[in-house]
Structure 1
């Protein structure tokens, strides 16, 4: 989850060039024959979703570029924490990587228990993309805008039900930030995953929801079954130019997105991390990879490992404050 201090977007080409010219790139030569056997890429979410799709696209490109198979393995659960825990406990040799959002490192530790040290057990490799968080109206909401939502919540307290994919998620934090500043009585409806949340949204079981961009969400919005009211993103989305950002509407602290990236176990040799970062930046430039991201409403990022690590540290500190102020707990 991130509000600011974001890695510069769409600067992949320059980041890749910088990585090749950097001392870290030179040090990568010391990695010798790496990779000498298949690399395992743990995806911290179920098969079939946008995370799985993007991870597999990156894996295919890395296989072609590095001459070693990349085997994708899904380890879903606990908001990504199970997958990240598996990465944290793997050998730090570059042969086990993880694909996840930053939440298991920056948000989950503040709202519940995790079995790893988010700041000591994981080495950030590269930011891959950010996923906008949209505020979506269902057929049960009679208003036309985000402002209408707040007007109804204040006029008829408790009648606007706001669904999230779970307690302690980015969508939940967004709701709490809006509820606090607007002084509006919005009723939280927490689900245990985005699948049932989407099904109930289509059935009009609540008025609004906060959820990440996805191909399925895009299809339902295009068909008119769901209506976007606002988007958490640094700027308006090209695909939804008439939908304001949450910041534009006066809620900058709620203007949240989900950042996804590649991670390695801590103490992975810097030369290997640098090699992976350079190869990933190169893969992110490939048209088929970018197409898969953009089709699902995601925005490519890229950049250096150091930039990603710095953004994660800032996000961790920001979330600690937000969670404390809002009193958010996962259970």
Structure 2
């Protein structure tokens, strides 16, 4: 007896459709590729808690820090493609590190984009002993002293590092990169006036800015941040190409069925639409997004192309 191709396809898809309808039927492991307490961790915990409440299944946070987010992201790429091991990873691990160093995964081939969760603007600040009140004065100061001013970053190849390189290229200035092992020591030396400026996630710098210990120059978002409404954007300051935002997105392993990806997407975006979730993350300077998987895929590709060009144009040394 002949079985029609359509009927055969339906039979083959039945287990996947059934599992998607019941998803999630057990706890979800949500990998955070950074230590607890940072922006990535906070965003994941707030979203994960609401996803757990909505689904009735625990969303277990698994912090796997190391190599700027690469190790935890790689763990997801090697997990079973059933939707029960996912990650909320960052711009560094998804779009920058693969262009800077040898990593064990190819972002768009070994991972399945689910949704862009949130963006967080990078803020440019200077030490209080730097006599510049805005970006124009800072650029003029740098041009008057080529090679004398420096900028701190949270490490070679990090988003703050490439933000500084993009600033150099855009403003045509010569400032020196000083890498640190994380944001905390960079901020400490900035407070101690050992370095002159830095780009870092707005939430990291906001307490020191509000205390008057660091002077804000600009934020790299399209619009002013509600948590720092008096700080102009780089576009307002005359540098629309100096748009620099960190971002965090949900990914699953390659081969995760579309129906499961759709279920994860629906659960995540429903959690993100909750007013309490929005309020908590807005206090962290984060803007929630919640786009479709294909849009997020294109976003990752565009961000990869952008930062690959900066790496090349700035002559940043890579380990590839």
TM-score, normalised relative to structure 1: 0.87
Aligned equivalent of 1:251: 239
Compare CA radii of gyration and give the structure with the larger one: 2
Conserved 8 A contact 2:123-2:205: no
In the TM superposition, residue 170 of structure 1 has moved relative to its aligned partner by 1.8
Give CA deviations for 1:273-293 in whole Å, capped at 9, x if unaligned. 101111111101122211221
Alignment of 1:1-331 (within 5 A): 31-214=20-203, 216-330=204-318
Conserved 8 A contact 1:140-1:205: no
Q: Residues 30, 75 of structure 1: CA spacing in aligned structure 2 closer, same or farther, 3 A cutoff?
A: closer
Conserved 8 A contact 1:136-1:229: yes
Conserved 8 A contact 1:28-1:274: no
In the TM superposition, residue 30 of structure 1 has moved relative to its aligned partner by 5.6
RMSD over aligned Cα atoms: 1.7
Flag the structure with more relative contact order, 1 or 2, with Cα contacts below 8 A and sequence separation at least 6: 1
Q: Matched residues in 2 for 1:157 and 1:272: separation?
A: 54
In the TM superposition, residue 253 of structure 1 has moved relative to its aligned partner by 3.0
Conserved 8 A contact 1:174-1:256: yes
Conserved 8 A contact 2:202-2:285: yes
Q: Matched residues in 2 for 1:100 and 1:184: separation?
A: 32
Structure 2 residue ranges without an equivalent (≥5): 1-15
- Match of 1:157, SS state, is coil
In the TM superposition, residue 28 of structure 1 has moved relative to its aligned partner by 6.5
In the TM superposition, residue 299 of structure 1 has moved relative to its aligned partner by 1.1
- Match of 2:108, SS state, is coil
Q: Matched residues in 2 for 1:319 and 1:29: separation?
A: 41
Conserved 8 A contact 2:170-2:241: no
Give CA deviations for 1:142-176 in whole Å, capped at 9, x if unaligned. 22222221111111223322111111122222221
Structure 1 residue ranges without an equivalent (≥5): 1-26
Q: Matched residues in 2 for 1:31 and 1:276: separation?
A: 9
| Paired residue total | 304
Conserved 8 A contact 1:98-1:262: yes
Q: Residues 305, 28 of structure 1: CA spacing in aligned structure 2 closer, same or farther, 3 A cutoff?
A: farther
Q: Which runs of 4+ in 1 moved over 6 A?
A: none
Conserved 8 A contact 1:173-1:323: yes
In the TM superposition, residue 298 of structure 1 has moved relative to its aligned partner by 1.2
Conserved 8 A contact 1:134-1:228: yes
Q: Residues 308, 28 of structure 1: CA spacing in aligned structure 2 closer, same or farther, 3 A cutoff?
A: farther
- Match of 2:198, SS state, is strand
Conserved 8 A contact 2:114-2:250: yes
In the TM superposition, residue 86 of structure 1 has moved relative to its aligned partner by 0.4
